Structure 1
Amino acid sequence: MQYIEMLQIQLNTMALGFVALLPQLVLALVVVFLTWIVARFAVRIAEMLTGRSRLRPDLQKLVETLVRVAVWIIGLLLAAAVAIPGFTPAGMIAGLGIGALAIGFAFQDIFENFLAGILIMLRDKMNLGDYVEADGISGNVEKITLRETHIRQFSGELTILPNATVFKNPVKIFSDAPERRDSMVVGVSYDSDLERSAAVIHDAVASVAALVPGRPVEVFGSEFNSSSVDFNVRWWTNTKENNILVVRHEVILAIKAALDQAGIEIPFPYVTHTFKESLPLERPRKAA
């Protein structure tokens, strides 16, 4: 019976303590509500200020996010100080002790992606809309948050990569410079005049209007293939003004038409097959 009485006393004490804390809890909830309002206004003010500046869109989002996080941290600390008398941030960190270390290990990936997102937004390269290749994924950067990067592939799929993966691995930015060099291999038959063939290919590529003016068209002999002598053909395309795939299509049409007109053959690979005919066995003739 003594244990039951002690339990009842403890429950009554806890109930009285909760009732005594009700005003403070209500005030803490009011502080949280005010924090939500202040955070919305602060983000709008930050959006107005950054919109007038020359910051990149991803940096504008970073500033707005940091403002929102800062307001919420301050508001939650004030709410905790109101709800719990004697609460201080230093006391909270000291009270966590080993638990803080465990929480740090548990949320290591989240913190890593968070810091990587900040560093990605702060550097000059890889902006929204850039054509990139990261971790084997190619497409346009559609969105950068504090935890992940959204890449829209050209086939339509959206791939979400953790910021730590994007930050720690090599990233190819194809749209960093508008002018990009493209190349292909063109083969001609062995009985062709190689110097004439190279000149015909060069003039055909140079006749394509979409190429970058002033950039050279290069034609180099690359190797003796099984059925052709191969040339490596290179040219430059302005990707902001022209689609690189369309320009490549025009180059192929121009080379094929020019070689046909010059009577130069583009051979195709051939495969030599060995056929064994199954002949009926000849019976030995009987001696006469």
Structure 2
Amino acid sequence: MEEAIAYLNTQWSAVVKGVSDILPELVAALAVIALTWGLSRFAKMIIARLGGRMHLRSNLIEVLSMLASVGLWLIGTLIAVTLVFPSITPAKALTTLGLGSVAIGFAFKDTFENFLAGILILLREPFALGDFVECEDIEGQVEKITIRDTHIRQTDGQLVVVPNHMLFQNPVTVRTSRDLRRITVICGVAYGEDIDIARDVISKAVRNVDTVRDDVKDVQIFATNFGASSVDFEVTWWTGSKPIDVRQSRDQVIAAVKRALDDKGIEIPFPYRTLTVNEPIPVTQVSE
């Protein structure tokens, strides 16, 4: 019993001596951790202020704050570990972190790819919240941009969550990058009608539509083709860039042109077909 107590006393004395020996290094490590915490909070505050002044997106500010915080904590933790355990040199720690980073990079390749693409999208700002975009047969309004993906609400109400690397690597059409958008429809009139009169009637009908922005961009009407049963006009005008603006304006213009041509008696022909028969067709009269 006395031997056990003596052994425990010896071990306890060794522990106390070991703690007292590394106490200065432990205090210094705790001071480094506290300083790292303070610097991390200060860095986040500075980034938030600068981001607000530069009118950066809130998501981008959060990402920059996170990267700054992670970098500071990585450096602070590395310094604290080397203070407590002198045998662990910064070179060895960085080598270990490097090998671990390579393994993690291979394991989470797609995640990191989307992460980097999200940062670049937020930095470049090729489109903003509320824009209507199209990419790889996906078309809709941008509702949310995160580090990993972008939420696009299609015109039929469905939500599509698109990985950021897809938007970064493929062409993206931003339909609302400007307030106006050009629309073109084809209108045909019969060959027997006067082309100049028909063009004038179509032009006046289009300009009288409220959704046509002829005050900014002029209406253009060109005869483009000799069709099977009509002379075709290409009618071009400008209206709002949102999909609903485009559909409404196209509907109103087509109705206005049809109404104006009917009022002037100008024929919009149906397709005509002429059948030619090489031999006489026998006709038999059926008596009742």
> TM-score w.r.t. structure 1 length?
0.70
Structure 1 equivalent of residue 212 of structure 2: 211
Against the structure 1 CA distance between its residues 70 and 265, is the aligned structure 2 distance closer, same or farther, given a 3 Å change threshold? same
Q: Partner of 2:26 in structure 1? A: none
Contact 1:93 1:100 in 2 (8 A): no
CA 1:211–1:62: 2 relative to 1, 3 Å? same
Give the match for residue 71 of structure 1: 69
Matched, 1:61 2:59: yes
Report the secondary structure of 1:243's partner residue: helix
CA RMSD of aligned residues (A): 3.9
Alpha-carbon offset, residue 266 of structure 1: 1.7
Q: How far did residue 140 of structure 1 move?
A: 1.4
Cα offsets for 1:52-75 (capped at 9, x unmatched): x25143xx3212222124324544
Task: Output the CA distance in 2 between the equivalents of 1:145 and 1:269.
Answer: 53
> Aligned ranges for residues 79-90 of structure 1 at < 5 Å?
85-86=85-86, 90=91
Using the TM superposition, give the Cα deviation of residue 177 of structure 1 relative to its aligned residue in structure 2, in angstroms. 1.4
Identity of aligned residues (%): 45
Q: Is the 8 A contact 1:132 1:175 kept in 2?
A: yes
User: Aligned residue pairs: how many?
Assistant: 250
Offset at residue 105 of structure 1 (A): 2.8
In 2, the alpha carbon distance for the partners of 1:72 and 1:222 equals 62
Measure how far apart 1:85 and its partner are.
3.4
Matches for 1:124-135 after TM superposition, within 5 Å: 124-135=125-136
Aligned equivalents of 1:272, 1:35: Cα separation in 2:
88
- 1:4 aligns to what? none
Residues 96-175 of structure 1 mapped to structure 2, 5 A cutoff = 100-175=101-176
Q: Tell me the CA shift for residue 147 of structure 1.
A: 1.9
Closer, same or farther in 2 for the Cα pair 1:101/1:39, shift >3 Å? closer
Paired AA for residue 68 in structure 1: M
CA distance in 1, matches of 2:91, 2:156: 52
Q: Which amino acid counterpart does residue 130 of structure 1 have in structure 2? A: D
Query: Any idea what SS the aligned residue of 2:222 has?
Result: strand
* TM-score computed with the length of structure 2 as normaliser: 0.70
Residue 40 of structure 2 contacts residue 72 of structure 2 at CA under 8 Å; is this kept in 1?
no
CA shift, 1:263, in A, is 0.7
Deviations 1:180-210 (A, max 9, x none): 1111111122222222111111111011133
Partner of 1:94: 95
Contact 1:120 / 1:167 at 8 angstroms: preserved in 2?
yes
